[in-house]
A and B are shown apart, each in its own frame.
Chain A
């Protein structure tokens, strides 16, 4: 039986001679065996391929968790912002005095506006008369 070293040491002429030797018969099942081996190798390659190359589907529930958590946080924040503030006064009389003060302040400003508008009216009427 030939060793691997003997085969490696064969010259090109020797290889041609052996190839053209009709006395050596090729096993009938060789072609089929080669095809089967190739298919097996392909399957093994597919199985051992890195997982990152395959598009991985994230489970829907894992995607929904952050959205649900964020929505809950937003609702909590909304209610914390929109909650009724605490009354500034415990005593209705104090509150009444504050409201009265605010009304007086608004009224004074309104009256200033009315006065300014009134003082400008003669000039305004004069312009209208000129235009007529």
Chain B
């Protein structure tokens, strides 16, 4: 009996650990917490929406709506409890390391550190993550879908060029 409990507990921790290392797993782990605001939009809802929002951005601005072709899921977690924020940040970092995300951009502005990561292949970005960390707050945004890597890089380069 003792052996069953030990093996089950070990597998439970292992399973919880593994499943918490992707966008859905992280969302499932933290979304029920009272200190965390959570938003999930499924692929079904994206199909019901019919189209990806396209914002009217000025020149010198990256328009994400033009780049994202298709979205399967969107996970957003916004935390304002320092202990949970630390744990969430640690899980997100594990996820980023596990799937070998590439750092697209890091912005340090007014005490806030924003990092954007992409994962996929040479042509297509299949996962996009943005984290925004402040002293006692942490935001995690994960987009699962399809966007052209060339279009994304071109849009950023064009925005920079327009600002000159």
Interface residues of chain A, those whose CB is within 8 Å of chain B, are: 65-67, 69-71, 73-74, 77-78, 81-89, 92, 95-96, 98-100, 102-107, 109-118, 121
Contacts and interface: CB of A to CB of B under 8 A. Distances in A.
A116 B159 CA distance: 12
Interface residues of B, number: 56
Nearest to B158: A114
Contacts of A65: 4
A81 B41 contact: no
Contacts of B105: 110, 113
5 contacts: A74-B15, A77-B12, A85-B28, A95-B48, A105-B141
Interface in B97-144: 105-107, 109, 114, 116, 130, 132, 141
A77 B41 contact: no
A87 B55 contact: no
Contact of A109 (B28, B130, B159): B130
B34 interface: no
B107 A92 contact: no
Given A66-B3, A73-B12, A114-B159, A82 B19 contact: yes
A62 to B, nearest CB: 11
Interface string B66-101: 000001001010000000000000000000000000
A67 B16 contact: no
B36 interface: no
Contacts of A67: 7
Given A81-B20, A81-B28, A112 B74 contact: no
B149 to A, nearest CB: 15
B61 A107 contact: yes
A84 B75 CA distance: 11
Contacts of B55: 100, 103-104, 107
Given A110-B62, A114-B159, A95 B41 contact: yes
